[in-house]
Amino acid sequence: MPVTDPIADLLTRMRNALLRHKDEVRVRSSRIVLSIAETLQNEGYIAGLEVVPGTRTKAQNDLRIRLKYGPAGEQVIRRMARVSRPGRRVYAQVEDLKPVLRGLGIQILSTAKGVLSDRQAREAKVGGEVLCQIE
């Protein structure tokens, strides 16, 4: 079955796996999903990721994401929210990018320089479409 919103599918699968305290989760791979997962890994929200062959079809690869938990087993990611949706796009200029939870969370943006966290976008002085917010 085709996925109409791969970013929402990624966030939902990760949210469900975190609630069940799973060690890893598999999602359908695409360029945008891979870029978001790499940004999460660079920011320290997930332990790792790996592209693996798909289970349903050989044409579509999957992405195996290793989730990260704290020393007492608490979730590193407390909240994941899709900001810009297919029905309502949300854009932000670099001046509008404020730290999330005083720097404890991030926003992931799609910019002209690729998929970046809000910290990286402020350093590069670029704005873009706000894809999601991680706390």
Residue 41 lies in a domain: yes
Number of C-beta neighbours around residue 128 at 10 A: 21
pLDDT above 60 (res 1): no
Read off the CATH number of the domain in which 61 is found. Answer: 3.30.1490.10
The answer to whether residue 80 sits within a structural domain is: yes
Q: Is residue 44 part of a domain?
A: yes
pLDDT in tens, 5-19: 999 999 999 999 999
User: Per DSSP, what are the bridge partners of residue 25?
Assistant: 65
Residue 39 lies in a domain: yes
63 inside domain: yes
Read off the pLDDT of residues 54-108 as tens digits, 9 standing for 90 and up. Answer: 877 777 899 999 999 999 989 999 999 999 998 999 999 999 888 888 878 999 9
State residue 3's pLDDT score: 77
Kind and range of the H or E element at 82? strand 80-82
Residue 28 has pLDDT above 60, yes or no: yes
Contact yes or no for 89/132 (Cβ under 8 A): no
Structural domain boundaries, residue 102: 6-134
Whether 90 is in a domain gets the answer: yes
Rounded-to-integer distance, Cα 99 and Cα 118, Å:
8
Is residue 1, in this structure, part of any structural domain at all? no
Provide the number of structural domains found in the chain.
1
Helix axes 31-42, 6-19, angle to 10 degrees: 50
Q: What is the pLDDT of residue 99?
A: 86
Domain annotation covers residue 85: yes
Q: What is the pLDDT of residue 93?
A: 94
C-beta neighbour count of 8 within 10 angstroms: 15
